[in-house]
């Protein structure tokens, strides 16, 4: 299973030269969320975007798919008219795109390249040869370097410039609108409503997710009042004394349908440390003993101390 050769098909100033570096390419059948039939398109993974061309010689792409809104990638075990074909379901925040590779080996390699540019790590769950894993490591290094050196198209969102009143609810997450949607999509069992900074840096927002033939996201602005407290900016504004009351009000207004997003992140259960072997210098991970530390012996009283009765 060899990677498709990456070739530049236009001159130094051509359209292909304006795209990010191409890591992998080949024919895929693609069917987007609003498409009724699949189309066979030459597909190029350039940076963290898939570009689709009508054929391998075209220099102008007809579609592109930014992987920044990635949610999940899984095999589609449905049967295809071509018995050797292998299907994939690429789930994004705005819908599913179905991709069909020529065979199982090709699908596995596409998954490897996609995961590498999305997670910036070589996936360990795929069946790939050593040479293919080395290609993925090189792609990860190139993509990390590209992201560090590229000129940002816009300034990153500024942090909140107003002090928050009272205790911050545990469903607050310092994420963007898109990141909030992805979090709620990936962890539906952890709640469907979170509080986050607003885009302007001077307000807050509540993002919610519900299911109605697919994900339905809503975003509500929460502003701080001059006289203290907050207000949920809807048609009939809802004043709240604290951010906890903001969340409670939305839970109450929806009869408990909306629930705060509480993602339980794992913590270590044991203390570990790394030390070098004195004989061969090999570094080993150790687990510290879990038994309670012995109490230090009590110091004897200093000589010459007088005790009065």
* Spatial contact of 20 and 146, defined as CB atoms under 8 Å apart: yes
Burial bucket for residue 66 (CB in 10 Å: 0-12, 13-18, 19+): exposed
Q: Do domains 22-150 and 177-254 have the same CATH topology?
A: no
CA gyration radius, the chain: 27
Beta strands in the chain (DSSP E): 22-31, 39-46, 49-53, 63-66, 70-76, 86-92, 95-101, 193-197, 204-211, 215-224, 230-232, 238-240, 272-276, 283-287
> Among 145, 122, 143, 142, which Cα is nearest to 133's?
122
What would the pLDDT profile of 148-159 be if each residue is shown by its tens digit?
876 444 434 445
pLDDT for position 155? 37
Residues linked to residue 70 through DSSP beta bridges, in sequence order: 92
* Spatial contact of 108 and 126, defined as CB atoms under 8 Å apart: yes
> Among 96, 106, 135, 104, which Cα is nearest to 27's?
106
All residues at 6 or more sequence positions from 60 whose CB lies less than 8 Å from its CB, including other chains: 15, 53
* CATH number of the structural domain 22-150: 2.30.29.30
d(C-alpha 171, C-alpha 157), whole Å: 20
Q: Which CATH class is domain 177-254?
A: alpha beta
Residue with tokens 């790939």: 128
Burial bucket for residue 63 (CB in 10 Å: 0-12, 13-18, 19+): middle
> Among 144, 135, 184, which Cα is nearest to 23's?
135
Per residue of the chain (309 residues), what is the pLDDT tens digit? 444 545 444 444 456 667 889 999 999 999 988 888 999 999 999 999 999 999 998 888 999 999 988 888 898 877 656 667 889 999 988 889 999 999 999 999 999 999 999 988 888 888 888 999 999 999 999 999 888 876 444 434 445 555 565 678 999 999 988 899 999 998 898 999 999 998 777 789 999 999 988 889 999 999 988 888 899 999 999 999 999 999 999 999 999 999 999 987 666 777 877 777 777 667 777 787 876 656 666 666 666 555 454
Q: Domain residues of the chain, as ranges?
A: 22-150, 177-254
* Spatial contact of 205 and 196, defined as CB atoms under 8 Å apart: yes
pLDDT for position 298? 64
> For residue 7, what are the CA distances in angstroms to 24, 137, 145?
10, 20, 21
The full length of the chain comes to 309
d(C-alpha 167, C-alpha 218), whole Å: 24
SS3 state at 250 = helix
Residue with tokens 């299973």: 1
pLDDT for position 270? 77
pLDDT for position 151? 47
In the chain, DSSP finds a helix count (H) and a strand count (E) of: 4, 14
């Amino acid at each position: 299973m060899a990677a498709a050769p990456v070739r530049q098909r236009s001159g130094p100033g051509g359209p292909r030269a304006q795209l990010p570096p191409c890591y992998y390419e080949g024919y895929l059948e693609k069917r987007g969320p609003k498409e009724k039939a699949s189309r066979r398109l030459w597909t190029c993974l350039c940076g963290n975007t898939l570009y689709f061309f009508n054929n391998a010689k075209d220099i102008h792409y007809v579609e592109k798919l930014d992987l920044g809104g990635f949610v999940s990638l899984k095999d589609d075990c449905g049967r295809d008219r071509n018995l050797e074909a292998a299907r994939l379901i690429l789930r994004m925040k705005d819908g599913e795109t179905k991709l069909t590779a020529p065979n199982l080996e090709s699908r596995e390699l596409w998954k490897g390249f996609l995961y590498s540019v999305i997670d910036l790590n070589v996936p360990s769950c795929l069946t790939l040869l050593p040479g293919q894993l080395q290609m993925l490591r090189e792609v990860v290094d190139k993509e990390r370097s590209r992201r560090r050196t590229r000129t940002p198209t816009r300034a990153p969102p500024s942090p909140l410039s107003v002090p928050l009143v009272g205790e911050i609810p545990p469903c607050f997450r310092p994420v963007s609108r898109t990141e909030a949607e992805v979090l709620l999509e990936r962890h539906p069992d952890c709640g469907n409503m979170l509080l986050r900074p607003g885009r302007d840096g001077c307000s807050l927002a509540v993002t919610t997710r519900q299911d109605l033939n697919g994900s339905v996201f809503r975003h509500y602005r929460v502003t701080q009042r001059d006289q203290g407290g907050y207000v949920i900016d809807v048609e009939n504004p809802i004043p709240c004394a604290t951010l906890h009351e903001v969340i409670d009000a939305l839970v109450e207004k929806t009869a408990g349908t909306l629930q705060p997003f509480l993602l339980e992140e794992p913590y270590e259960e044991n203390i570990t440390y790394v030390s070098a072997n004195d004989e061969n210098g090999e570094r080993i991970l150790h687990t510290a003993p879990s038994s309670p530390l012995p109490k230090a012996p009590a110091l004897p009283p200093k000589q010459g101390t007088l005790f009065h009765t």
